[in-house]
Amino acid sequence: RQWRDIRLAGLGLIGRSFAMLFAAAGYQVKIYDIEASQITHALSDIWQQLIELQKIGLLRGSLSIEEQHKRIEGTNDITECAKGAFFVIECVPERIELKTGVHAKIDPVVSDTTIIASSASALIPSKISQNLKHRNRFIVVHPTNPPFYAPLVELVPSPWADSDVVPKTKALVEEIGQSPVVLKKEKEGFVLNRIQYSIIKECFNLVKDDIISVEDVDKVMSEGLGRRYAFIGQMETDYLNADGMRDHSKKFAEMSYRLQKSFKPPIKMEGEILDKIHKDIEKRIPLDKLQERRRWRDKRLAALEKMIRTM
């Protein structure tokens, strides 16, 4: 273990998941939220989630649920939360002024070796950290939701990050059982969302041009591409679909280039096409059945995760 404990600010969906992952790995976790009631809510929600994980056989680590829960401790004082920290992670909403406001309180009380992380989804590190005294200790640690079933974490260091920030954060993320990837440079949208939005663009355009129905374009992902993507990425897919990359290029490079050239420009997710897509999905999943459908999804994600973990 690199450090004794972890400090965490912002106890929504992501903050709670991180607190649980750190506690499962045996860390003491000190948590803070601007809403005092969020601490009580988070602790009782975490307890329920631990019971559920135990029930489905996906509890992490070797500690009992009581021991894991006891490792998470709340405070109403951000200074107390950050003081003496080795690693502090901010998980407040994706608004620059909220994030920089929290960092401004953390910055003066941490040491020159503390790592200051943010779970930001899209805000780039240089923008968030430019005014920090300790900006050389800043890194974005972007998880995938839900983190217990989708272990990918994107690590995006600030351009001015010291050379130990990435390896230390990477080791921590691996230690808690998540799967880190490192961006060598910051890039808007990082990598997961850049790939995701290129898929969104194509799906929207194919439906807009009336090539395929909404239900079927989703099926292309869930029954086709997604089945492979649960185990291997696009690079390895191509490698295996021919006899290596050079052979793949001989067979498919021309087609790939022709298709890429036929792609349409960016499309705004609004207006008539948005309405059509919404209405189509709503026929299958009415808005009052969203919770039910999310539980259905999470149950399957849990089963897949369990299968992959025991493979």
Residue whose C-beta lies closest to ligand NAD:
12
Which of 3, 5, 12, 208 binds ligand NAD (CB under 6 A)? It is 12
Distance CA 256, CA 245 (A): 13
Closer residue to ligand NAD (CB): 85 or 207: 85
Does the footprint of ligand NAD cover residue 125 (CB under 6 A)? no
**Rounded least distance, CB 123 to ligand NAD, Å:** 7
Q: In terms of C-beta density within 10 A (0-12 exposed, 13-18 middle, 19 or more buried), how is residue 257 classed?
A: exposed
Per-residue binder mask for ligand NAD (CB under 6 A), 40-79, x = binder: ----------------------------------------
**Rounded least distance, CB 116 to ligand NAD, Å:** 14
Does the footprint of ligand NAD cover residue 10 (CB under 6 A)? yes
Per-residue binder mask for ligand NAD (CB under 6 A), 23-42, x = binder: ----------xxx--x----
Handedness of CA 25, 74, 100, 269 (dihedral sign): positive
Distance CA 175, CA 130 (A): 29
Residue 30 phi, psi dihedral angles, 5° rounding: -100, 125
- The one-letter amino acid at 247: D
Q: Which residues pair with 143 in a beta bridge?
A: 153
Per-residue binder mask for ligand NAD (CB under 6 A), 144-183, x = binder: -x--------------------------------------
Distance CA 149, CA 240 (A): 26
- The one-letter amino acid at 297: R
Which of 31, 46, 91, 115 binds ligand NAD (CB under 6 A)? It is 91
Distance CA 192, CA 174 (A): 18
- The one-letter amino acid at 208: K
- The one-letter amino acid at 110: V
Q: Which residues pair with 7 in a beta bridge?
A: 30, 88
Per-residue binder mask for ligand NAD (CB under 6 A), 203-242, x = binder: ----------------------------------------
Residues at the interface with ligand NAD (CB under 6 A): 9-15, 33-35, 38, 91-94, 98, 101-102, 119-121, 142-143, 145
